[in-house]
Amino acid sequence: TSGSLDHRVRDLSLAEAGRHQIRLAEHEMPGLMALRREYADTQPLAGARIAGSLHMTVQTAVLIETLVALGAEVRWASCNIFSTQDEAAAAVVVGRPESGGTPEDPRGVPVFAWKGETLPEYWECTDEILRWIDPATGEDVGPTLILDDGGDATMLVHEGAAAERRGGVEADPQPGERGYSAEKLVFLETLRRSLARDPERFTRLARTIRGVSEETTTGVNRLAQLAARGELLFPAINVNDSVTKSKFDNRYGIRHSLPDGLNRATDVLIGGKTAFVVGYGDVGKGAAEALRGQGARVIVSEIDPICALQAAMDGYQVANLDDVVGSVDFIITTTGNVNVVGLDHILRMKDKAVLGNIGHFDNEIDMAALEALPGVVKTEIKPQVHEWTLPAVSAQDAPDGLERGERSVIVLSEGRLLNLGNATGHPSFVMSASFANQVLAQIELHRGAEEDTEAHDDEENATPGLSRLPKILDEKVARLHLEALGARLTELTKDQAEYIDVDVAGPYKPEHYRY
Ligand code: NAI
């Protein structure tokens, strides 16, 4: 730590390099820059204290500085141990040029993130963004809002508050128990330490936090489960299901960043090879399109007949991984589900085939079983690229009865999202649309919290819910990006608007429209 600004990053001397990249990214993020101009005077986030847990990349730096430009105080951590761009983190801490900050005297935003955190460090950083010391009183006042990606910060508060209610952290789970991994054990240990220091911290946090906006499919699933059980402690906005988020970032973002990650990691030619994409949701559609664009023959698997039919109509072979695993050169998981590639699949993969995941968590590929395989050897080719040498198997032991000699498979980012671990995630333009939704969601939550404080008390106990941004804001985000692409929108005439029964200014589609 240098100067008085709280932070934990790799190296503040990287700030200048980070600032150059941020400057170029701003040019590619017209949505965020338009929101800065629109709200410069009214400062709709004044008084908000935002704890952000989202990949600490160059694009996220532009998001953070937009939140600050709208009046918020911000603290930030990454939501993945490999996704931080250290130069972006440094630049955010040092601060914008006009702040006069330097690596010796940083004046930007407290960031707690670096590429290659350990799991205990990861949870310490997540814990740090929830710690908000009021300089006047020395008291920890906590954040008022969470901006989450995958739901880890939200989970920490919810599980922390639950543990405090019970008077202790649950007993360590048995290995192999559903949903419990080494990761979970580290999480419980973090919780235990925090409770030992202050047994009411999370209960207080649950009271001061007035809402969360969630970035991704997996985090939204977690929130929906909490809401269904009536356990959600504060209102949540599902940013992922804004059309200008999931139908763009998850799809076109992946179409760009999946081949980027594959190329930087392995530089193996994709053309002419066979690629298997597990899952054909928004992310799977972008992944399959990118691989086909590179000349691969793409095979898709799905459990949902609608998505499977879509894949077939889009011209992909739809198959079971079990049936073709021995003949594919790449396997990419995109489901947000658990164990979709198991050890029996890995054991049957081709020699030097590449295995990677772009779903949110590292349990899509059964990495734990691979690590535990007797005789397996893991060789680091370079950071986030590992060759796993599989022992020879006799016909008797092989799942398909075929004898195999020693072979190896290449696993990217240890099974974590490879587009962020092996490359730098989605490009700025598409993240501008996602993050414009985030900013609008934070404004809504902050406004809601203020109205809540004014109205107060009589309405207490209303169960907080999970909602989406209104469609008119979704359309606004799209509008903000059209001009930069030189796209000219056609305006409805009044007659036409009446004929199809919409307002000339939108929204143009009913809620159930699927795009
Ligand atoms: P989605 O729900 O649209 O698609 C997932 C698809 O996987 C569904 O169609 C589902 O039927 C299918 N599926 C589930 N289990 C399966 C199985 N066992 N075999 C085959 N298919 C199966 O979700 P979306 O938006 O595509 O997100 C997927 C994951 O990617 C989530 O974890 C999300 O958080 C993450 N994500 C990652 C990004 C990145 O930059 N790496 C960006 C956006 C989302």
Please indicate whether residue 80, judged by its CB atom, sits closer than 6 Å to ligand 1: no
Q: Whose CA is nearest to atom 37 of ligand 1?
A: 359
Please indicate whether residue 309, judged by its CB atom, sits closer than 6 Å to ligand 1: no
Pocket test for ligand 1, best of 242, 244, 334 (most atoms within 8 A of CB): 334
| The two domains 12-247+425-473 and 253-421 share their CATH topology (first three levels equal) | yes
Q: Which of 85, 81, 39 is nearest to 60 (CA)?
A: 85
Please indicate whether residue 216, judged by its CB atom, sits closer than 6 Å to ligand 1: yes
Q: Whose CA is nearest to atom 8 of ligand 1?
A: 281
CB neighbours of residue 176 within 10 Å: 9
The three-class DSSP label of residue 205 is helix
Ligand 1 centroid, distance to 261 Cα (angstroms): 18
- Each residue's pLDDT tens digit in the chain (515 positions)? 446 899 999 999 999 999 999 999 999 999 999 999 999 999 999 999 999 999 999 999 999 999 999 999 999 999 999 999 999 999 999 999 999 999 999 999 999 999 999 999 999 999 999 999 998 999 999 999 999 999 999 999 999 999 999 988 877 666 555 555 677 888 989 899 988 999 999 999 999 999 999 999 999 999 999 999 999 999 999 999 999 999 999 999 999 999 999 999 999 999 999 999 999 999 999 999 999 999 999 999 999 999 999 999 999 999 999 999 999 999 999 999 999 999 999 999 999 999 999 999 999 999 999 999 999 999 999 999 999 999 998 888 887 788 888 899 999 999 999 999 999 999 999 999 999 999 999 999 999 988 876 654 445 556 789 999 999 999 999 999 999 999 999 999 999 999 999 999 999 999 999 99
Please indicate whether residue 422, judged by its CB atom, sits closer than 6 Å to ligand 1: no
Q: Yes or no: say if 208 and 50 are a contact pair by the CB < 8 Å rule.
A: no
DSSP of 367-392: HHHHHHSTT-EEEEEETTEEEEEEPP
Q: Yes or no: say if 477 and 31 are a contact pair by the CB < 8 Å rule.
A: yes
CATH class of 12-247+425-473: alpha beta
**ipTM of the modeled complex:** 0.99
Please indicate whether residue 337, judged by its CB atom, sits closer than 6 Å to ligand 1: yes
Atom number in ligand 1 closest to CA 284: 26
Atom number in ligand 1 closest to CA 216: 34
CATH topology of domain 253-421: Rossmann fold (3.40.50)
Hey, which residues does 297 pair with through a beta bridge?
274
Please indicate whether residue 274, judged by its CB atom, sits closer than 6 Å to ligand 1: no
Query: The whole model's pTM is what?
Result: 0.95
* Domain spans, the chain: 12-247+425-473, 253-421
